């Protein structure tokens, strides 16, 4: 009995003594959680696995690693040595004191190391010195690649395929450095040159990478970048889809189940597709309806005006990374995600793509409409969003489609105008019926 009581007392002492320790651990955890909750969420991170699983080539760099997330990728090590060449050419253009310039760059970066670390999620362990060296080298590489000297530019752009691959790598969400780092290095280097056409880095970067943008951008649209600056190059490109300052933002509507109709179905009820050349917003989609649908072939003007999208080999990479950035970054509006959803609603088959290409709201450079159809239908797979900026227009389309006249005209078109012979037979029947009526009227009058 004595031994039993001693064992119970021992367990009791352990449990009682462990309570304060556990409380301290939990309080430390709570304090850490409070500290982390006050931090801004990272802007550069690994994309959730569901998206790379659908399209691995869209998120992993093929030629060059920028920043720490893909630094250890063995397939990207070849160009790491070439970055020193880019650094050399950049410093050679500035002065005969490269050490002084590099010292200024490192001082700027070293002062921002905590802010740089806060921008990344899932970063491998690097010392402050390693991280500072990485930021300076990568920033110098980007600046020399985008704004090369005439001599070095000839060498860079001689390999067109490599140039396009590097440009595509620069817009990958996982392959970014903070934009304030790029701005600091720009201020210490290229800003001192009189040959830079503009002192604004954002406008220069947008101009150099505009060819990656698959949408036609009206020159009257101006990107206004106000503090805080964009988080990185991809974030900067995403701002080019924002409404201008003088344009009222479109209504943000929560997505909800709704009926959508393909381009062919809408064409059958008299809806025409046109490029949106006069919209106040470069990504606007406008629908204007005409209820004279019975005369759609001659005077109907029910029109869906859309942004013009050019589909190239790198369009899927660009769109997927913009969509991933809009999906996963707090406070970023889903403008491109909404467009991708809208175009997916319109495209079910290759005939729908052919209709949109014929209407000049799409240009397809992939070689076949089947490839374009597959890209459009897969671009929003795995994507969940709470905003659809074109909900009002889609409700208008659905209401027009389900109207009495459009549905009847669609039935007539499918039944009697789906081939020239059916149309001729219908016309002959109408003429014969009219002649029969006329003949009957004359016969009655002759009596």
Q: Are residues 271 and 390 in the same domain?
A: yes
Where on the phi/psi map is residue 270: left (φ > 0), alpha (ψ -120 to 50), or beta? left
Residues 12 and 87 in one domain: no
Contact 372, 362 (CB under 8 A): yes
Q: How many residues would you count in the chain? A: 447
Higher-confidence residue of 223 and 127: namely 127
Q: Mark whether 429 and 374 lie in a shared domain.
A: no
Q: Is residue 7 part of a domain?
A: yes
Structure confidence at residue 251 (pLDDT): 56
381, 316: one domain: yes
List pLDDT tens digits, range 353-398. 999 999 999 999 998 999 999 999 999 988 877 788 899 899 999 8
More confident residue, 39 or 395: 395
Domain range for 203 is: 51-212
Mean pLDDT of 338-365: 95
Whether 249 maps to a domain, the answer reads: no
Q: Which residue has the higher pLDDT, 432 or 192?
A: 192
For residues 292 and 388, membership in a common domain is answered with yes
- 87-118 pLDDT, tens digit per residue, is 999 998 887 788 999 999 999 999 999 999 99
Count of domains forming the chain: 4
Query: Is the residue at 253 inside a domain?
Result: no
| Judgement on whether residues 80 and 188 belong to the same structural domain of the protein | yes
- Is there a single domain that holds both residue 185 and residue 82? yes
Span 408-423, pLDDT tens digits: 555 555 555 556 656 5
pLDDT > 90 fraction of the chain, expressed in percent and rounded: 48
User: Are 351 and 391 in a shared domain?
Assistant: yes
Spatial separation of the C-alpha atoms in residues 310 and 297, rounded to whole Å: 28
Instruction: Report if residue 232 sits inside a domain.
Output: no
Residue 7: which pLDDT band, with cuts at 50, 70 and 90? very low
Same domain flag for 124 and 22: no
Tell me: do 405 and 423 sit in the same domain.
Answer: no
> What pLDDT digit, counting tens, does each position of 120-130 carry?
987 778 999 99
Same domain, 342 and 439: no
Q: Give the contacts of 252 (CB within 8 A, at least 6 positions apart).
A: 333, 387, 389
Mean pLDDT value across the chain: 82
Residue 163 has pLDDT above 60, yes or no: yes
Same domain for 386 and 271? yes
Q: What is the mean pLDDT of residues 134-146?
A: 96
Q: Give the pLDDT confidence score for residue 11 in this predicted structure.
A: 42
**398 within some domain:** yes
In a domain, 231, yes or no: no
**Dihedral (C-alpha) 276, 279, 282, 283: value to the nearest 10 degrees?**
-70
User: Model confidence at 230, in pLDDT bands (50, 70, 90)?
Assistant: very high
Q: Is residue 112 part of a domain?
A: yes
In a domain, 228, yes or no: no
Q: Which residue has the higher pLDDT, 199 or 322?
A: 322
Q: What is the mean pLDDT of residues 38-61?
A: 87
């Amino acid at each position: 009995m004595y031994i039993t009581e001693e064992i119970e007392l021992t367990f009791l002492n352990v449990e009682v003594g462990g309570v304060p320790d556990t409380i301290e651990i939990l309080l430390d955890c709570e304090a850490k959680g409070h500290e982390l909750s006050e931090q801004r969420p990272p802007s550069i991170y690994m994309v959730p696995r569901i998206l790379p699983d659908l399209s691995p080539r869209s998120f992993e760099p093929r030629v060059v690693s920028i920043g720490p997330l893909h630094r250890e990728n063995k397939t990207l090590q070849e160009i790491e040595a070439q970055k020193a060449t880019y650094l050399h050419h950049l410093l050679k253009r500035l002065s005969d004191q490269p050490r002084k310039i590099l010292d200024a760059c490192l001082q700027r970066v070293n002062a921002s190391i905590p802010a740089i670390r806060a921008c990344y999620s899932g970063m491998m362990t690097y010392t402050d010195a390693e991280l500072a060296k990485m930021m300076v080298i990568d920033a110098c590489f980007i600046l020399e690649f985008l704004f090369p000297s005439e001599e070095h530019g000839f060498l860079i752009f001689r390999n067109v395929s490599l140039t396009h691959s590097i440009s595509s790598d620069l817009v990958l969400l996982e392959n970014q450095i903070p934009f304030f780092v790029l701005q600091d290095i720009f201020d210490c280097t290229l800003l001192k040159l009189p040959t830079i056409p503009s002192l604004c880095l954002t406008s220069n970067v947008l101009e150099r990478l505009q060819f990656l943008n698959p949408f036609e951008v009206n020159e009257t649209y101006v990107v206004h970048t106000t503090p805080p600056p964009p988080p990185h190059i991809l974030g900067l490109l995403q701002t080019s889809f924002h409404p201008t300052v003088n344009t009222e933002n479109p209504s943000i509507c929560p997505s909800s189940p709704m009926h959508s109709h393909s381009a062919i179905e809408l064409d059958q009820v008299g809806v025409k597709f046109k490029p949106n050349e006069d919209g106040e917003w470069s990504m606007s989609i406008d629908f204007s309806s005409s209820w004279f649908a019975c005369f759609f072939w001659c005077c109907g003007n029910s029109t869906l005006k859309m942004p013009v999208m050019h589909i190239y080999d790198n369009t899927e990479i660009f769109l997927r990374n913009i969509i991933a950035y809009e999906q996963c970054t707090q406070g970023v509006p889903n403008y491109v995600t909404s467009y991708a959803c809208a175009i997916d609603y319109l495209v079910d088959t290759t005939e729908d793509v052919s209709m949109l290409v014929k209407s000049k709201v799409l240009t397809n450079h992939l070689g076949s409409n089947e490839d374009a159809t597959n890209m459009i239908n897969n671009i929003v797979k795995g994507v969940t969003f709470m905003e659809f900026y074109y909900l009002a227009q889609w409700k208008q389309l659905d209401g027009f489609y389900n109207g009495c006249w459009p549905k009847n005209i669609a039935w007539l078109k499918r039944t009697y105008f789906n081939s020239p012979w059916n149309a001729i037979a219908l016309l002959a029947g109408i003429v014969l019926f009219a002649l029969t009526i006329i003949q009957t009227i004359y016969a009655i009058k002759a009596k």
